[in-house]
Amino acid sequence: MELPKIKNEELPERLKEILGAEDAVFDSIVDPMDVIDNLEVDPDSYYKQRYDIQQKLMASNRKLNEYKKSV
């Protein structure tokens, strides 16, 4: 994963004193593979759950509209 680099001429004076003529380079604090490997996504399951949630939201909206009409 490529992290940003700040050119030396864009740095504040205080950082230029610390880094000298070098650009500011950032190091990753986490290995990207630690994050990516732990994601287990099954596309079929994802879309089924998404569809189920949409159905529940539509049913909930219908029920809310019925309550509003009865009041």
Task: Tell me the per-residue pLDDT of 24-70, one tens digit each, with 9 for 90 and over.
Answer: 888 878 776 776 666 677 888 889 999 999 999 999 999 999 999 98
Q: b/e for 34-53, b at 16 or more Cβ within 10 A? A: eeeeeeeeeeeeeeeeeeee
- Torsion angle of the four alpha carbons 30, 35, 36, 41, in this order, in degrees rounded to the nearest 10: -170
Report the distance separating Cα 28 and Cα 3, nearest Å: 7
- pTM greater than the 0.85 cutoff: no
